[in-house]
Structure 1
Amino acid sequence: MSPSELLSEGWSLMAFGMGFVFLFLSLLVFATSQMSRFIGHFFPEPEPVRVASGSRSRATTAKNNDHELVAAISAAIKMHRSKKE
């Protein structure tokens, strides 16, 4: 085979390969979007549960949660340090 024939065959092989990859990826995007639409149709996202407003406000609840979180982290650090020694 002459170099020009090899080059011509190389170009055609490259075009065929790139075309196949483009076709496959396009099909993959189409299939993924259709599956997403199918799942969204038959299994919709659940509605978020609304909590009835009680006597405590959100700010008070958040402060209590912060204090509980700090206490839990402090206890975990103390336990880790005592095990280390």
Structure 2
Amino acid sequence: MSQAVELMIAGMGFVFAFLIILVFATQAMSKLITRLTPPEPATPARTPRATTPAPASVDPDTAEAIKKAIAQFRARHKK
């Protein structure tokens, strides 16, 4: 029974040591990579585009053409 406990403690110790080494190796690699890679270029801020205002009213001929197009569409797509 005591041999099993010793083996368990030794195994847990090796796993713990491996994880500690892994954490330090990962941190070291991260620092190395950040030193070797060039910094990302700054992206310029987007400027909002000026929008043109919509006309206050629609030309009567255009309104009539829209009405006819809607009527034609509805006639073709009846269920």
Q: For the superposition of Structure 1 and Structure 2, which TM-score range results when normalised by the shorter chain?
A: 0.5 to 0.7
Q: In the alignment, which residue of structure 1 is the partner of 2:6?
A: 12
Gaps of 5+ in 2: 52-79
CA distance in 2, matches of 1:26, 1:44: 29
Match in the other structure for 1:46? 40
Aligned residues: 51
Q: Between Structure 1 and Structure 2, whose CA radius of gyration is higher?
A: 2
Percent of aligned pairs sharing the same letter: 43
Q: Which runs of 5+ in 1 are unaligned?
A: 1-6, 61-85
For 2:38 and 2:5, the matched residues in 1 are separated by 48
Partner of 1:21: 15
CA RMSD of aligned residues (A): 2.1
CA shift digits 1:14-59 (9 cap, x unpaired): 00000000000000010001000100111144033205636x15xx
Structure-to-structure mapping, 1:30-69, within 5 angstroms: 30-51=24-45, 53=47, 56=49
Q: Structure 1 stretches (4+) deviating beyond 4 angstroms?
A: none
Structure with greater helix share of residues: 1
In the alignment, the residues of structure 2 paired with residue 47 and residue 17 of structure 1 have an alpha-carbon distance, to the nearest angstrom, of 48
